Amino acid sequence: MLGLSAATREERLSPELRRLMAILIAGVLAVFLDTTVVNVAINTLSRQLHALVTTIQWVSTIYLLALGMVVPISGWASTRFGAKNMWLLALSLVLLGSVLCGLAPSVGALIAFRTLQGAGGGLLIPIEQTLIIQAAGGRNIGRVLALIGLPVVVVPVLGPVIGGLITSELS
């Protein structure tokens, strides 16, 4: 019993796969946070940008619409341009959108930048899953999917908490 059984060895994820999963999951954490972090700041944004709450609500709505609209093209784009290239592009869109959102001078600009951010996020999630499943090589798929699905469940719960802290503690 000193050695591991063949089944136990097969269940272990390789260090390379674990490292890749950590990197890719870290990249999508922002996307999952962005889906809920803004919700608690709606009234604050409305006041600071001198806009109606109904207008500010588009900040959240457009993000989710953009995210959902680009998911169907992620597979085609990954095949056409390469999954790694698309991952880097999507991550760049999320980062650029986030920076621009922080600098947005008006509600219209904020909505436009959230569209960019959401489009990047919509590409990022399915490409992350594809890259990880390909790297796993068809082994331990249930375990791999459980691990990459965990942030989907946990991180959005933290969004309102983080959004509340940012809204109450930072300008």
- Reading the block at residue 131, the tokens are 């890259």
**DSSP state for residue 171 in the 8-state scheme:** -
Please give the Cα distance from 24 to 61 (Å, whole number): 25
Which domains occur in the chain, in start order?
23-169 (1.20.1250.20)
Which DSSP string corresponds to 54-115?
A: HHHHHHHHHHHHHHHHHHHHHHHHHHHH-HHHHHHHHHHHHHHHHHHHHH--SHHHHHHHHH
Q: Which residues of 97-135 are buried (b: 16+ CB within 10 A; e: fewer)?
A: bbebbeebeebeebbbbbbbbbbbbbbbbbbbbbbbeeb
Please give the Cα distance from 39 to 154 (Å, whole number): 17
Integer distance in angstroms from the first to the last C-alpha of the chain? 59
Q: How much is the pLDDT for 1? A: 44
Asked whether 118 and 38 are in contact (CB, 8 A), the reply is: no
Q: How much is the pLDDT for 122? A: 95
pLDDT in tens, the chain (171 residues): 455 454 444 568 888 988 998 999 888 888 888 888 888 888 888 888 899 989 999 999 999 999 999 999 999 999 999 999 999 999 999 999 999 998 999 999 999 999 999 999 999 999 998 898 888 887 888 888 888 888 878 887 887 777 777 777 776
Which one-letter amino acid corresponds to residue 60? S
Torsion of CA 122, 128, 131, 137, to 10 degrees: -120
